[in-house]
């Protein structure tokens, strides 16, 4: 099998793990394939505006082998992230080069905030894409033509692949290996790196609770205070509407307009966040956490966790408990 060329373009402020993670996956797959007599697998090349050291986001330097190529075919064009990438626009020289290079690539891949560069180049228009959970809203606001999916670890849209933040580049690279050489090869590499071939759940489980500012509308703000003050209370929409002196229909409309989600969704999110804190910090049973967070039963809480975090409460506790 002929070698598959992978080009990783670097820029000042690049996130080094976005480069090193996929590099090690692809290098490991190449070594395994060569050992089995199935060809060289992958050849990874680092490029930059000028060959030589490129300073990463944390101060760690990566060394570009070659200048950004202006001609020739590219197997996989893998664009890493970094805070620099979030500010890239269509007029940026790197984005201009990326737009031209993408036409010569069999597939185009972004890791973390590398998706901002792809979006600035117009490569994500009309597509579903993901990025680091912390920057998902920024990507959606800056590029409304992109359907941003903030919970995905990685997404494939034809020849375009995008991934979540930082270490999710490893997940993405394993998916590339699986697509190219099958699950057995990818699983072998994953075991060697001591990672999951397919990480359980989405990236929402890693995101901290999002603070929602108080609404300006007095009635909606009063309802927020009631919800946060006692998640175990009866927080049905009809009850909340009555407590703040509004009709149920008017209350639902005003609440959704002010906070961007219906009251029932808001209550569930507050209860999930409450349960997360309990599971992380206290050695309580799942049934106890469910009761103290305001869920009617452990099963109700389990469904809410699966819906919002992609994992069950007991799995969440095993991963994130600090006690």
Regarding whether 36 and 136 lie in a shared domain, the answer is: yes
**pLDDT at res. 198:** 82
Low-confidence ranges of the chain (pLDDT < 70): 1, 208-211, 323
Among 153, 175, 203, which residue terminates a domain? Answer: 203
CATH at residue 124: 3.40.50.880
Residue 208 belongs to some domain of the structure: no
d(CA 28, CA 89): 34
Q: Is 112 a catalytic residue?
A: yes
Regarding whether 222 and 112 lie in a shared domain, the answer is: no
| Cβ 321 vs Cβ 303: under 8 Å | no
d(CA 77, CA 182): 20
| Cβ 245 vs Cβ 219: under 8 Å | yes
**pLDDT at res. 201:** 73
**pLDDT at res. 24:** 96
Regarding whether 316 and 194 lie in a shared domain, the answer is: no
- The per-residue pLDDT for range 261-306, each reduced to its tens digit, is 999 999 999 999 999 999 998 899 999 999 999 999 999 999 999 9
Domain of residue 236, residue span: 218-320
Regarding whether 292 and 181 lie in a shared domain, the answer is: no
Among 141, 176, 203, which residue terminates a domain? Answer: 203
Contacts of 81 (CB under 8 A, 6+ apart): 14, 15, 18, 110, 111, 112, 113, 114, 115, 116, 131, 132, 165, 166
Regarding whether 226 and 304 lie in a shared domain, the answer is: yes
pTM to 2 decimals?
0.74
Phi and psi angles of residue 49, each rounded to the nearest 5 degrees, phi first: -55, -40
**pLDDT at res. 184:** 92
Catalytic residue selected from 112, 117, 267, 289: 112
Regarding whether 173 and 128 lie in a shared domain, the answer is: yes
Could you give the number of structural domains in the chain?
A: 2
Work out the end-to-end distance of the chain between its first and last CA atoms, rounded to an integer number of angstroms.
Answer: 50
Cα dihedral sign, 291-297-302-304: negative
């Amino acid at each position: 099998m002929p070698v598959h060329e992978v080009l990783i373009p670097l820029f000042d402020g690049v996130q080094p793990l976005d480069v090193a993670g996929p590099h090690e996956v692809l290098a490991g797959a190449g070594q395994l394939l060569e050992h089995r007599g199935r060809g060289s697998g992958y050849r990874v090349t680092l490029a930059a505006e000028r060959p030589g050291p490129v300073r990463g986001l944390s101060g760690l330097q990566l060394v570009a082998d070659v200048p950004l190529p202006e001609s020739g075919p590219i197997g996989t064009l893998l664009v890493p992230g970094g805070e620099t990438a979030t500010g890239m626009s269509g007029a940026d020289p790197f984005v201009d080069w990326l737009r031209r290079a993408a036409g010569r690539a069999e597939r185009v891949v972004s890791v973390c905030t590398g998706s901002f560069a792809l979006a600035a180049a117009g490569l994500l228009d009309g597509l579903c894409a993901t990025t680091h959970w912390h920057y998902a809203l920024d990507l959606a606001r800056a590029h409304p033509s992109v359907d941003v999916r903030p919970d995905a670890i990685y997404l494939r849209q034809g020849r375009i692949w995008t991934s979540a933040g930082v270490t999710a580049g490893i997940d993405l690279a394993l998916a590339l290996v699986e697509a190219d050489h099958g699950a057995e090869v990818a699983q072998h590499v994953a075991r060697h790196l001591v990672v999951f071939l397919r990480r359980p759940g989405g990236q929402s489980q890693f995101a901290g609770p999002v603070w929602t500012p108080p609404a300006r509308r007095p009635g909606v703000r009063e309802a927020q205070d009631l919800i946060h003050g006692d998640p175990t209370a009866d927080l049905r929409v009809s009850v909340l509407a009555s407590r703040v002196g509004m009709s149920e229909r008017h209350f639902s409309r005003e609440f959704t307009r002010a906070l961007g989600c219906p009251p029932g969704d808001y209550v569930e999110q507050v209860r999930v966040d409450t349960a997360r804190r309990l599971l992380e910090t206290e050695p309580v049973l799942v049934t106890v956490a469910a009761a103290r967070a305001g869920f009617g039963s452990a099963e109700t809480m389990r469904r809410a966790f699966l819906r919002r975090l992609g994992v069950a409460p007991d799995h969440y506790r095993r991963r994130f408990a600090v006690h």
